[in-house]
A and B are shown apart, each in its own frame.
Chain A
Amino acid sequence: MAKTTELLPGTLDVLILKTLALEPLHGVGVADRLEQVTQGTFRVGPGSLFTSLHRMEEKGWLASAWGETREGRRAKFYQLTRAGRRQLDQETERWKTIALAVGRALELD
């Protein structure tokens, strides 16, 4: 098993939103994409993944629909809603600010 890093609290949601910004994905797709874009740094377990997906759907950021995967299997696909996109923008801004501030602080040390 590859070495993984603990996610900072609250980052999973924004990462999922980001992976869904390009195209609708099903659960496995989201997990794969996440591992891919973070180059294996973050690996999300299915419990956290589905909990997060469902919570964001309840919040109205995601919409879900049953569809077919490339291999022709039935799966539930998640898609960003307008509210979700707005949330992603906000969170991205917030992360930029924090990352900048934390980065500066650590460099000064």
Chain B
Amino acid sequence: MLSRFRFLLRNLFRRRQADQDLEAELGAYAEEMNRRQRRRVQTEPLREEVRGARLGAGIEGWARDLRYAGRMLRKAPLLTLACVATFALGIGANTVVFSMANDLLWRTPPMAQPQQINFLRILQHGAPGVDMLPPEVEQVRQQTTRVFSGVAAASLTQLGLSVNGHAETMFASYVTGNFFSLLGVRPALGRFFFAPAGVVDRDPELVLSYAYWRSRFGGDPGVVGRAAAVNGQAVTIVGVGPKDFHGISDLFDTQAFLPMGLAPAHQTGQFVSALPLVRRRQGVSLQAAQAELNLVAARMAQADPKQFHGLRIQAAPLGVGLLNSTGQNPFPMVAALFLSLSGLVLLLAAANVMGLLLARASTRRREMAVRAALGGGRRRLARQVFLETLLLALAGGAAGMALGIAGSRAMSALPPTSGFPLVLDFSFDWRVFFYGLAMALSVALAAGLVPAWRAAGADPNDALRSDHAGAGRRRQRLRSALVAAQVAGSLALLIVGGLFVRSLRRAETASLGFNPSQVWNFSLDADGAGYNPVRGGQYYAHLLPHARAWPGVVSASLAQTVPFDLNSFATSVRRAAAAPQTGAPPPPRAGYSAVSDGYFATMRVPLLQGRDFKASDDSSAAAVAVVSQTMARRLWPGGNPIGQTFVRGDQGGHPLRVVGVAGDVIADFSAPIGPFFYVPLAQSYSPQQTLQVRLAPAVKAAAVEQAIARLDPNVPVGVQSMDATMDGINGLYIFHLGARLAIWLGLLGLGLALVGVYGVVAYTAAQRTHEIGIRVALGAQPRQVVAAILRQALAIVTTGMGLGLLLAAGIGKLVGAFLVGISGLDPLTFALASLALGAVALAASLIPAWRATRADPLAALRCE
């Protein structure tokens, strides 16, 4: 055994020495034979025979073929470069898309067994339902101890954190004392706070997220033990969370964690509504847990049908699904779509390379035939050709990975302009690298198998003959089919890219129901300054008249939430006259915002009926509301809504009287326009408010920000134009990202189609040199020659385009759900994309066709 290993090593790594030894031995033998006057002994075949039987001869053969493949590729640098670049583009595009999908779908947070952790989604009649308050969460906990080892809760909020006299708004979570132990995370620094389930922790302590610690404190390890103030309340920083831990969602960073007992509502004796988190016991499946929750929900609905009818408690995996109130996680669908599109790009790339290799195969027929004649086995020839493709694919894969890293950096570097701590980490991990490698191997298979198989069929007689017909024609048919498929694929890509771009344009220019230009949003937080509701109310009441008097301010108003804001609110609404009935369909849900007077003027939302709020609509006056057109139509179809009353589901039974009807406003592109109502801020205090200011042209927002700070430096201010707010995470951000990605893929497809068409036409023209030469010699005009070649090219392109339109129609139906304002079969997009592709294909065919007309008839005839 040992001896074999020694010889294997010798044969592989000291081959030269082994060969010399063998040569000498065989030489001595040949000499001896000559001396005996027998026939001359050829040592060469002998040597080959012995070498072929040596240990590791197979490996050596592969290595030799690999070296030969490398030499062949170096000998044709242009072709090699074209193939590697094509592969690199295809694989690069795929790794970019995959790295995004990887981040959004598969990256696991640094928690202990994260697959066992779920959050509970509360639904009523399939829609987001009542809030779960601690008593109900406790009820659920007690009834599910068999399936869950723990139930924790976390609420999300915006807070002002001031350290060393500098205040900054941050996203924070009030969490129960068992939050960290339930998730199974360990602090990177210091410690976490802890309290057993059911015990409210009120220690004034704060835990920072790793990312926030790095960005705001520069990763200073001395931060532990430092004093800080959260919304004016003194706390001590006790620890820092682990790296890559962002709290309950991986999509944005929860920058700080505070004990639930510190939440303002808790301190005034109210409850905080929070997201319940559970950890399933070892071996308990999601289905088993869900079955248990169904029982609990049924029991709760039975005990309190008025509040809990139609209740469903759904255990859902943590992650991006968290953000979506409908319970549908759109990311797998979007990821599947883009992965298929980029897969299509890769197929096009593979088709291109295969076309190039086939074209070269016909010029290498002689080489192959000679090798076959010299005794190269068929398998050996096929292996040779395949190894060349494999080398190309691996080189392309490496280059593509580099492109992909650059591309995904560019994609990650598209942060929404809001101050939202979005976590986009499209960086490459082992999964992306593995995917890239798998892609490289599969394109090598896709592009290399047919040429390899062709090479195996090399006929030694071919070396002597030189006819271009027969097999050549069959090859040509395959290449034409390939190019037609390429044209089809790239047309589909281009159309989908066009759809996304048109959708973005539509969304940008959609009639929003308000006019965002020249409007600036200054988000303010009275809590952040530590003001109680009375003091906060005074601050805002003081601010508004001042703001209206500042130079350059056309109009100003306050709002609890603005369209495309990070925060939005909704509740169920019903007519005051209609009593709630058990078993009746659930009342409609309506979005709402509390606004000051002048809001409709600042935002340019038309008031269709009735009046705006007045200063007299304060806490001492009757509760009033302005409803949107859609809400008016839903609650009082056909009637006059002015003077009618309705009840909101979240605030007792006080009816609100409708005083006005405002035009519908698009506040979110992902959902159709629903009912919406406005209440006066004076009747519904909110600590966080946005001062909206419509500025005269050429007036700087910074001046307003300074004026706000002069008025009260304690209140944290965030500045953003209304246009920027619309580009944010709840606005057009996703559309920008999708459009950018789709159009890049489309253009890549177009480029690949261009190369493919050019290649096949140039090749055909070259094949027909002889025929063209004869034609020209017989007096054919250049125009006729071009027409003859173009006819052939156009037949291929139009076939491909027909198929591409069908393919695009299929994809268009699927992507229709992600488009705004246009259908997935938008005729204009289809027409424009077809036109663009047709023009490019025509240009790609014209050049080689024109070059063919310059064929010298004599040269063409001579080459036979």
Contacts and interface: CB of A to CB of B under 8 A. Distances in A.
Interface of A: 26-28, 46-47, 50-51, 54-55, 57-60, 73-76
B53 interface: yes
Contacts of B7: 57-58
A47 B50 CA distance: 7
30 contacts: A27-B25, A27-B28, A27-B29, A28-B33, A46-B46, A47-B45, A47-B50, A50-B22, A50-B26, A50-B49, A51-B49, A54-B54, A55-B53, A57-B7, A58-B3, A58-B4, A58-B7, A58-B55, A59-B3, A60-B3, A60-B4, A73-B32, A74-B28, A75-B25, A75-B28, A75-B29, A75-B32, A76-B21, A76-B24, A76-B25
B3 A50 contact: no
Given A47-B49, A75-B25, 8 more contacts: A27-B28, A46-B26, A47-B50, A50-B25, A50-B29, A51-B53, A57-B7, A73-B31
A86 to B, nearest CB: 14
A28 B36 CA distance: 11
A105 B141 CA distance: 85
Contacts of B29: 27-28, 46, 50, 75
Interface string B36-53: 000001000110011001
B46 A54 contact: no
Contacts of B55: 58
A108 to B, nearest CB: 39
Contacts of A28: 29, 32-33
Contacts of A55: 53-54
Nearest to B36: A28
Interface string B390-431: 000000000000000000000000000000000000000000
Highest count of chain A CB atoms <10 Å: which of B2, B4, B28, B41: B28
Contacts of B3: 58-60
A41 B29 CA distance: 22
Nearest to A51: B53
B41 A46 contact: yes
B28 A59 contact: no
With most chain B CB atoms within 10 A of its CB, the pick from A47, A58, A76 is: A58
Nearest to B28: A75
B4 A76 contact: no
Nearest to B3: A60
Q: Top 6 nearest A-B pairs by Cβ distance?
A: A60-B3, A58-B7, A51-B53, A47-B49, A76-B25, A28-B32
A75 B24 CA distance: 8
A26 B28 contact: yes
Contacts of B32: 28, 73, 75
B28 A54 contact: no
Interface string B186-201: 0000000000000000
A50 B28 contact: no
Interface in B30-76: 31-33, 41, 45-46, 49-50, 53-55
Given A55-B53, A74-B28, A47 B46 contact: yes
Contacts of A47: 45-46, 49-50
A36 to B, nearest CB: 15
Contacts of A74: 24, 28
Contacts of B24: 74, 76
A72 B49 CA distance: 28
Contact of B28 (A51, A57, A60, A76): A76
A27 B3 CA distance: 21
A54 B11 CA distance: 12
Contacts of B54: 54-55, 58
B424 to A, nearest CB: 58
A82 to B, nearest CB: 12
A97 B28 CA distance: 39
Interface string B762-779: 000000000000000000
A54 B10 CA distance: 13
B353 to A, nearest CB: 41
A73 B25 CA distance: 11
A27 B2 CA distance: 25
Nearest to B48: A47
Contacts of A73: 28, 31-32
A88 B30 CA distance: 29
Nearest to A63: B3
A11 B56 CA distance: 24
Contacts of A76: 21, 24-25, 28
A58 to B, nearest CB: 4
Q: Which of A26, A54, A57 has the most CB of B within 10 A?
A: A54
Contacts of B2: 60
A86 B619 CA distance: 108
Contacts of B46: 46-47, 50
A59 B21 CA distance: 18
A76 B33 CA distance: 15
B25 to A, nearest CB: 4
Contacts of A50: 22, 25-26, 29, 46, 49-50
A76 B23 CA distance: 11
A28 B33 CA distance: 8
Contacts of B41: 46
A51 B49 CA distance: 7
Contacts of A60: 2-4
A53 B747 CA distance: 63
Contacts of A57: 7
A45 to B, nearest CB: 9
Contact of A54 (B4, B31, B33, B53): B53
A47 B4 CA distance: 21
B4 A59 contact: yes
Interface centre among B21, B25, B45 (most CB of A within 10 A): B25
B50 to A, nearest CB: 5
Contacts of B45: 47
Tell which of A26, A27, A46, A47 has the most Cβ of chain B within 10 Å.
Answer: A46
